[in-house]
Amino acid sequence: MRDRLFWKLAVGFVAVLLVFTLILGTMFLSLFRSHTLELHREELEAKALSISATLGDFLSGRGGMGRSGQGGMGAYLRYLDELAMADVWLLDTQMNRLTAGHMNWTTAQENPLPEAGEEVARLALEGQLNCNQDLDTQKGSDFVLVGAPIYGSSGELLGAVVLQSWVDGVDHSVDQGLSALGLSAGVALVFALLAALFVSYRFSRPLCQLRTTVNRLGEGDYSARTQVRQRDEIGQLAGTIDILAQRLAEVDHQREELDRMRDDFIANVSHELRTPVAVLRGSVELLADGTVDDPAEIQEYYGQMLGESRHLERLVNDLLELSRLQNAQFRLETAPVDLRDVLRDAARAIRPKTAPKEITVHLSLPEQEAVLEGDYGRLRQMILILLDNSVKFSPVGSSIEMSLTQQPNGLLLDVADHGSGISPEELPHIFERFRKTSSRENASGTGLGLAIAQQIVQRHGGEIAVESKQGEETAFHISFPVKADVGE
């Protein structure tokens, strides 16, 4: 494709240059010939006027058209053809020609005036400077005739002078100009051909790169780039292809991540469901076949089945909740929310869980409103998840601190407890799904709470981070921008 396009462009450029040269040569030949003839006519007219003026002076000095007693006019007439470099005819007012031999007006038969010259002479005897161009059929060559009147010192018309010049010299000049033009055009065409090949290469090379890049993208290599940097339409097309390649690479990466998450999700859900399902099945089988007949033991199995079913219910609800939050099409019900009200509500709602362990929740809130665009219910859910985790891992009689502060670029919420803390190995993974400790305090946990909390924060345009010292305290830091792009 590249070679075909390359040669098409090269041949096209050369063809255009050849046509241009042909048109230019034709116009040059025509204009140069016309201009040269015009210069030749002007030169011949100037000679005719000069000769007529000189002869007028000679003839006015005698006072008539008789024989000259001096040799000046005769010598001038004898060498007039050589001086004028043309054929010269001197005519009186009666169309009689003055010969150089005997210096008088006579009708000469040798070297007669051509037919076209008679009209030129007639107009000259009428006082007009005129010229005419005609073709000599015998010689097959063009000639130019110029006629000029001869005036005496008093302005009287004494005669006329007619000059005839062949245009062979003009044709020779035109041929020389045409040869120079041909040589120049030939040299120019050589350089133009080199320029055409270079331009064709520069034009076809980026197209070849675009084709190669598109082929690689079609084969699934989304790292391919055009490497074309031009500020023209081809460069814009190359930039568009590079953007497409980048987006395809991002989509492919997202697909791989989704595949990995799906595999992890299936593995995690299978693991989480296996234990409660096995417990429920075992308990039902024991009760169904009558192996257990003690009322107290039967009641214990019922309690165990109820606990596992509640755990399954929480697990399914959390999975559905997390799935909704991760769905880009799911929209939050947003409205202006004063975050202080959400914190007070969450602190009241957690009291049934803090009372048995005598845990105190301390609130530190600003006096001015802390308003952001958000979903009240989701924000309350996120805070309750953090408080529930803090209550689980906090010792009896401890405290949980929640503080809200105004920042230059938004709001900062801190939730801190003084529990057992998180180990450095677990800290980077606490927001992953199904990531939970196997401690006694977290026996009822599903491992999805913090993942849900993180999704809620992110859907409000915020960020969540955690700091923890094992055995001392754990603090969650949530920042919300002043103008969050909610629900995206």
pTM of the model: 0.45
pLDDT given for residue 103 in this prediction:
41
> What pLDDT does residue 343 have?
92
Specify the pLDDT at position 174.
67
Q: In 3-state terms, what secondary structure has residue 358?
A: coil
Would you state the pLDDT for residue 206?
A: 80
Distance, CA of 202 to CA of 208 (rounded, Å): 10
* 8 Å CB contact between 357 and 394: yes
Other CB atoms within 10 Å distance of the CB of residue 23: 10
d(CA 132, CA 28): 24
pLDDT of residue 487: 45
Task: Please check whether residue 152 is in contact with residue 60, taking contact to mean a CB–CB distance below 8 angstroms.
Answer: yes
pLDDT at 104: 43
| CA 283 to mean position of chain CA atoms | 71
Note whether 440 and 350 are within 8 A (CB).
no
- Calculate the alpha carbon distances from 34 to 26, 41, 145, 413 in Å: 12, 10, 16, 95
Distance from C-alpha of 16 to C-alpha of 14, rounded to nearest angstrom: 5
pLDDT in single tens digits along all 488 residues of the chain: 445 666 777 777 778 877 887 887 778 777 877 777 788 788 888 888 888 888 888 777 643 333 443 456 666 776 676 777 788 888 888 888 775 443 444 444 456 777 888 888 889 888 888 888 776 656 656 788 899 998 887 888 888 888 888 776 666 666 777 787 778 778 877 887 787 777 777 777 787 788 888 888 888 888 888 878 777 777 888 888 888 888 888 888 888 877 776 776 676 666 667 767 777 888 888 788 877 778 888 888 788 788 778 777 777 776 777 677 766 667 788 899 999 999 999 899 888 888 888 999 999 999 888 888 888 888 988 898 889 888 888 888 899 999 999 888 889 999 998 887 887 877 777 887 666 555 554 445 566 778 888 888 988 889 999 988 777 788 999 999 875 444 44
- Residue 42, both tokens: 């002007």
Where do the domains of the chain lie, and which CATH numbers do they carry? Answer: 2-174 (3.30.450.20), 226-330 (1.10.287.130), 331-488 (3.30.565.10)
Residue 218, φ and ψ in degrees, nearest 5: -65, -25
Q: Given this model, what pLDDT does residue 173 score?
A: 67
